[in-house]
Chain A
Amino acid sequence: MNIYAVIFYILGVLIVAFTVMAITRRNLMHAIVFLVGSFIATAVLFYLLGAPFLAIMEVVIYAGAIMVLFLFIVMMLEIEPEERDWWAGLRPWLWPLSLMGISLAVIFVYLIFASGSSHTLPMVMASPLAFGRFLFEKYWLGVEIASYLLFVALVGALYLGRGEETGG
């Protein structure tokens, strides 16, 4: 147990805690704020796991762009928090939680007792430059497709966002 491990576990607890808070909030605003916290912790974790570039991207894209988009939309929609009583609020969680429990148990069992994944991670760091070069050498096609993807998303969002009209 070295310092990295300690950081890892602290981050892990933080991420889970933030996420749990986020997904249980009734108020969307609160949820998003917690989520941003979770994402930032994740970014740090990424850094820890040897992906500094991705850590930055995580902050920029997830915690930054995406969450801001969410905030923006939420504010635009002016959604008031749902008012439900205790039981009605709990009921939808029952099934997912129990299923989650089972799945998690299975995964635990497999990971802990029956797998060769006990390999301990060495501490390395990928430099952003090497990463970029690698990306464009090997996965240039992927980048192309990703660009189409964003393009389609743009077009689609525009189309859907446009007012109702009968087109041409």
Chain B
Amino acid sequence: MAYVVPFSHVLVLAAILFLLGAVCALARRNLIMILIGVEVMLSAAGLVFIGAAMRWQQLDGQAFVIFIMAVAASEVAIGLALILYSRRRTGTINADRYNLMKG
């Protein structure tokens, strides 16, 4: 049987990817970029699951990734619709401009 890499390396890669996504979501003010960050994060989570599935020799992890993809797709659908709708109304996609309510 051939071995790939230590599992922890997969996790490290996923963690870096996830945090990059998080940084994107946090640092960028552009709503679409935030959404892109979320996608990166979700994809990183998928990576963890796939690695784990391999680690445990189970299919559950892979099944979960399918669900993650479904979620990602629907989130993007709703999200982009919402962004579009907001942009139509206000003309901006800068996240911080949406501060009608605060305090």
Interface residues of A (CB under 8 A from B): 2, 4-5, 8-9, 12, 15-16, 19-20, 22-23, 28, 31-32, 35, 38-39, 42, 45-46, 48-51, 53-54, 57-58, 61-62, 65-66, 69-70, 73-74, 76-77, 79, 82, 92-93, 95-97, 100, 103-104, 107-108, 111-112, 115, 117-124, 126, 130-131, 134-135, 138-139, 142, 146, 149-150, 152-154, 156-158, 160-161
Beta-carbon contact of A122 and B26 below 8 Å: no
- Provide 12 A-B residue pairs closer than 8 Å at the C-beta atoms, listed in order of the A residue: A15-B13, A23-B21, A23-B33, A28-B33, A50-B53, A100-B20, A100-B22, A111-B8, A120-B7, A121-B5, A122-B1, A122-B2
Chain A interface secondary structure, helix, strand, loop or mixed?
helix
- Over the window 21-55 of chain B, the binary record of Cβ atoms lying under 8 Å from chain A Cβ atoms (1 yes, 0 no) is 11110111110110111011001001100110111
Which residues of chain A are within 8 angstroms of B65 by Cβ–Cβ distance? 51, 54
Residue of A8, A79, A138, A160 touching B78 (CB-CB under 8 A)? A160
Interface residues of B (CB under 8 A from A): 1-13, 15-17, 19-24, 26-30, 32-33, 35-37, 39-40, 43, 46-47, 50-51, 53-55, 57, 59-60, 62-63, 65-67, 69-78, 80-85, 87, 93
Q: Which 10 A/B pairs are nearest by Cβ-Cβ distance? A: A153-B74, A23-B24, A157-B81, A96-B26, A123-B2, A146-B70, A160-B81, A96-B23, A134-B59, A153-B77
| Distance between Cα atoms of A96 and B23 in the complex (Å) | 5
Which residues of chain A are within 8 angstroms of B78 by Cβ–Cβ distance? 153, 156-157, 160
Beta-carbon contact of A16 and B17 below 8 Å: yes
Beta-carbon contact of B73 and A73 below 8 Å: no
Beta-carbon contact of A160 and B82 below 8 Å: yes
Are A8 and B55 also in contact (CB < 8 A) when A62-B43, A157-B81 are? no
> In this complex, what residue of A is CB-closest to B85?
A160
Residue of B2, B19, B63 touching A100 (CB-CB under 8 A)? B19
Residue of B33, B50, B60 touching A50 (CB-CB under 8 A)? B50
Beta-carbon contact of B37 and A107 below 8 Å: no
| Distance between Cα atoms of A70 and B39 in the complex (Å) | 11
Beta-carbon contact of A46 and B50 below 8 Å: yes
Residue of B3, B24, B37, B46 touching A123 (CB-CB under 8 A)? B3
Beta-carbon contact of B32 and A22 below 8 Å: no
Which residues of chain B are within 8 angstroms of A38 by Cβ–Cβ distance? 40, 43
Beta-carbon contact of A61 and B73 below 8 Å: yes
